[in-house]
Amino acid sequence: MNIPRVVSHNQPADLIDCDALIVGITPGLDKTPTIVGDVLGEADTAWLKAAAVALGKKGSLDEATVVPAPPGCKATTVILVGLGPKELTPSSLRHAAGSATRAAGPVSHIAVALPVDDAASAQAAVEGALLGGYRVNAKKKPTDDPDWATLTIVGTDKQGALQAGAVIAESVYLVRDLVNTPPNDLYPESFTDHVTSALKGLPIEIDVLDEHQLAEGGFGGILGVGQGSTRPPRLVALRYRPEGATAHIALVGKGITFDSGGLSLKPAASMVGMKYDMTGAATVSGVMRAVASLHAPVAVTAWLCLAENMPSGSAQRPGDVITIHGGKTVEVLNTDAEGRLVLADGLHAASEEFPDLIVDVATLTGAARIALGERYAGLMGDQLATGLVAQAAESAGELVWTMPLPEELRKGLNSDVADIANVATGSSLGGMLVAGLFLKEFVGPRQGQPADDDSSAQIPWAHLDIAGPASNTSSAYGYTPKGPTGATTRALVNLVMAMDSDAVASLVQ
């Protein structure tokens, strides 16, 4: 979906000739809804308040109702959206704007007349409105619905914040579009082409390793997972290197373009929706688009670990032993625990460049969905790195929950024939945590530190298991649609943009 043009408007909202005008309401002291702000004339404000009372609206957060525009307003319709009884924050404003644009339906011009008193509020309004207005751009027959061409934000001159919100929303659009693409159209090679096209014109270098180069480089995880498919795997490195950068962040994304489970075949019902198993790679691609567009002051490298996990005569078998890039061997006991294998290659490759911080993102375990549901991402890793990620997520209004990596679970990954097994057989305990412990094994040491098992010598690392929030199987809410969400994209953009010298210093305390 193409993003609409974002503009500002400092005149009264009555004068905006648009299809839908978004106006906020809150619960009044007398329990009747109150129109927020002086965005409309007195008569139009009274007209809308009477409409809200007649319809029984309370001003609850995210409550959105479409009504005809009052007589003195140039808009065709007005969307009354609840802002809730509490103090308005960028997060609640983002949710309200998203609820309103979801209610608007197919229109060409939406105006937002919500309180945008500072840059954070202005950016939140743009993000929420654009993310809530996202429409699936899939293979459907053409309709006569108009394209959303213009988003007007009323009452602000914060142009930088408006454009930042638009850039970030467009990057989330990229993630959602990629995940919505049918798996017969999106496979490692075409994924690479899509991302290359999306990043065209930005200061990002793109390096692609095909199956032959992966073999030469010893990337046994990606090759092993992909060897059962007729569509070979890829490892893509996206490099953003601004002049004068004082820090370097590595992002590693799981990109299983379809996950059948391999020879450890999933049940038919569990296979539906497995095109979303590349969301981690899509997420870090979206982050790269945003940080390069916003001229982030730090260097960022994204590693897209792309493979299609299929069963065939050439597929890897339970019991096979593969060699990960860097030399560590893995006994593959379950071919449906494939994401951690491709990430192992990506984590080691990222470690070889000695970044200040590594964050991997993956729809990794069903256990994460069971433990945390569909709104929270599981966050694991060392304390300093997870603290920075959690702070970035909070500022973005995204939900993460920090989980432990209990050392006593590590012994379940012991193998008689390899350095480590990819699953703990005979136990379903702590599946999300066991996967995190596996990944930790492939994070390398800081530059100048010995390559041993001392966690304090490791490059600071955080792991985001987004198996739950990556796809919303319930009803849409706020700015979150049903289906692919783009969860944690904005959090990681915030992480990169906030990575200054103090943040880097905090990682080595």
What is the rounded CA–CA span in Å between residue 67 and residue 20? 10
What is the third-level CATH fold of 170-506?
Answer: Aminopeptidase (3.40.630)
At CA 353, angle to CA 349 and CA 358, rounded to 5?
A: 75
Which residues have CB under 8 Å from 336's CB, separation 6+?
259, 261, 262, 264, 265, 266, 309
pLDDT for 427 equals 86
Sign of the Cα pseudo-torsion (406, 408, 409, 415, in order) = positive
- Residue 266 annotated as catalytic: yes
Domain ranges of the chain: 5-155, 170-506
* Residue in 393, 373, 410, 427 with CA at minimum distance from that of residue 498: 393
- Bridge partners (DSSP) of residue 458 are 445
pLDDT for 33 equals 87
Give whole-number Cα distances, 45 to 53, 73, 148, 221, 497, in Å.
12, 10, 26, 62, 40
* Residue in 436, 446, 443 with CA at minimum distance from that of residue 467: 436
pLDDT for 39 equals 82
Q: Which residues are annotated as a binding site for Mn(2+)?
A: 254, 259, 277, 336, 338
What is the rounded CA–CA span in Å between residue 457 and residue 460? 9
Place of tokens 């007005």: 78
pLDDT for 447 equals 87
Q: Is the pTM of this model over 0.85?
A: yes
Residue 267 burial (C-beta neighbours within 10 Å; 0-12, 13-18, 19+): exposed
- Residue 58 annotated as catalytic: no
Asked whether the beta carbons of 286 and 238 are under 8 A apart, the reply is no
* Residue in 163, 111, 106 with CA at minimum distance from that of residue 134: 106
pLDDT for 141 equals 64
pLDDT tens track, the chain, 509 positions: 689 999 998 888 989 999 999 999 999 777 788 888 878 889 999 999 999 999 999 899 879 999 999 998 999 999 999 998 888 999 999 999 999 999 998 999 999 999 998 999 999 999 999 999 999 866 666 666 788 999 999 988 899 999 999 999 999 999 999 999 999 999 999 999 999 999 999 999 999 999 999 999 999 999 999 999 999 999 999 999 999 998 999 999 999 999 999 999 999 999 999 999 999 999 999 999 999 999 999 999 999 999 999 999 999 999 999 999 999 999 999 999 999 999 999 999 999 999 999 999 999 999 999 999 999 999 999 999 999 999 999 999 999 999 999 999 999 999 999 999 999 988 889 999 999 999 999 999 998 787 766 667 899 999 999 999 999 999 999 999 999 999 999 999 999 999 987 787 788 76
pLDDT for 52 equals 93
Kindly name the residue from 158, 275, 289, 340 that is annotated as catalytic. 340
Q: Can you read off the two tokens belonging to residue 34? A: 């109150």
What is the rounded CA–CA span in Å between residue 83 and residue 222? 47
Kindly name the residue from 58, 135, 239, 266 that is annotated as catalytic. 266
**268-323, pLDDT tens digit by residue?**
999 999 999 999 999 999 999 999 999 999 999 999 999 999 999 999 999 999 99
DSSP secondary structure code for residue 477 in this structure? B
Which CATH code, of 3.40.309.10, 3.40.220.10, 1.20.58.1610, 1.10.287.1770, is assigned to 5-155?
Answer: 3.40.220.10
What is the rounded CA–CA span in Å between residue 308 and residue 55? 51
pLDDT for 140 equals 66
